[in-house]
Amino acid sequence: MNASSEVKTVRQLASEILFKVDTQKAYADILLDGTLRATHLSERDRALLTELTYGTLRWRAKIDARLSQKLRRPLEDTDVFIRNLLRVTVYQLFFLDKIPDYAAVNEAVELAKSQRGGKTAGFVNGVLRNLLRQKNPDEKAASTDDSVPTLATELSHPEWLVRRWITEFGLSEAVALMRANNERAPLVLRANRLKCSRDEMLARLRDGGIAATPTRLSPQGISIESGGNVENLPGFAEGLFQIQGESSQLVVYLLASLAGERILDACGAPGGKATHIAELMDDSGTVIALDNSPRGLDRIRENIARLNLQSIQVVRADTTKELTGALSAPYDRILVDAPCSGLGTLRSHPEIKWQRQEADIRRLSGLQAKILERVVGYLKPGGVLVYSTCTLAREENELVVEAFLAQHKQFELEDAARYLPQAARHMVRGGYFQALPQRDNTDGFFAARLRRVS
């Protein structure tokens, strides 16, 4: 197989993934992982497929603005597969430089011909060649227009989100946040302290030729540069580490669970926090991990088995409804890592910004309040409740907690800084933990530590 056909194959796979993201509102990482498992691509092509998929999603608004200038009809009316083939090709033409322009265009045209016929191939050819005629080598110069529409296009975020973040963070901070969202997210591991230290895990990775560095904020975290399969990393099969973002790791320290305690992880999938809790308790005590999704429960079980943890019980349950039987027995500590809009995770899940609407924030804040109201009755007096999300929307964060505290006078907010590792204590505002991509090089996260004082 020559280089051209290899690239063509990768472009087709990327276009198919993006087609499903568009039509099924699916998560790109799940689709990409499935594609990588099902195909036998070289490491180079695996990396290219990942780059094309995530890069096209990150810069979709800017790409669409380019394409719309060359179309006689709205881009949304274009065949979904062809629309995403055009996006992938424009991303390669204007954001990457490894493939000559003529080759990228020719490969796209051939793929369009094979998938939709000669007329569509001619359409793709015309659009792409018209774009190339106006390609400006100096076009990367920063725009001085700070209007919402211009920022939405140039920084590739929906206008409603640009407007919201300017209001909440101010213009310069909102711009920095959006720029950070368009960067590649680091792959972060959490060393399994029951099997090895972080230094030992770092040595194992480096011996295997993996570029790895300790994370700055979490004492168990390791950041690596790898475009390969996570399952092929040294120590994966032996359960020496868990994939978990750095800010997600920090949330668990707020719980400050002790060996022998009974802990409820009310929204447990995929198991990163539940397994971290068990490790910090020396696998002594009981962690009840709930989820209502069979697939989510399977992922928790897979991680438990690989990490060889004994203290976690996995149960299917809807946390918006009453817990029954043994599940309703009192807990020393409860973690509610609530379903949320995910707006703090746009580096890892860029498709979210194109799938979410402001109405989702209002809907989810109601669900979050409902879960808190349901689980609070199972917490012992003196017990600790940690509420966390991976979003940056106040309606899902501070406002949920403030409403809860107003209705539950037996609870008080505790200063999160007292429980975080020293290096992470600057990440607290008004007693709340808040991780920001542009400041901390992590996913955006929020958490509040509440104690039941009576």
Residue 437 CB contacts under 8 Å (≥ 6 apart), including other chains: 177, 180, 181, 183, 344, 346, 347, 443, 444
Residue 245: strand, helix, or coil: coil
245 vs 310: CA distance, rounded Å = 23
CB atoms within 10 A of CB 376: 19
Q: Concatenated DSSP letters for 319-356?
A: TTS---GGGGS-EEEEEEE-----TT-TTT-TTHHHH-
Q: Which residues contact 255 (CB under 8 A, 6 or more apart)?
A: 263, 277, 333, 335, 384, 386, 449
* Whether the Cβ atoms of residue 253 and residue 420 lie closer than 8 Å to each other: yes
Our answer to whether residue 390 is catalytic in this structure is yes
Residue with tokens 């971290």: 276
Q: Output phi, psi for 70, to 5 deg.
A: -110, 5
Contact 310, 281 (CB under 8 A): no
Q: Are 23 and 97 in contact (CB under 8 A)?
A: no
Radius of gyration of the chain (CA): 23
Bond preceding residue 270 cis, omega within 30 of 0: yes
What's the CA gap between 348 and 34, in Å, rounded? 16
CA distances from 380 to 74, 203, 301, 346, 384 (A): 58, 42, 27, 36, 8
Nearest to 190 by CA among 115, 228, 252, 246: 246
Give me 429's structure tokens: 């505002």
Token duo for residue 1:
């197989």
Catalytic hit among 196, 267, 340, 390: 390
| Residue-by-residue DSSP string for 267-299 | T-TT-HHHHHHHHHTTT-SEEEEEES-HHHHHH
Cα(226)–Cα(52) distance, integer angstroms: 16
Structure tokens at 397: 């964060």
Handedness of CA 99, 104, 106, 107 (dihedral sign): positive
Of 80, 126, 94, 89, the residue nearest 107 (C-alpha): 89
Residues with a known catalytic role: 390
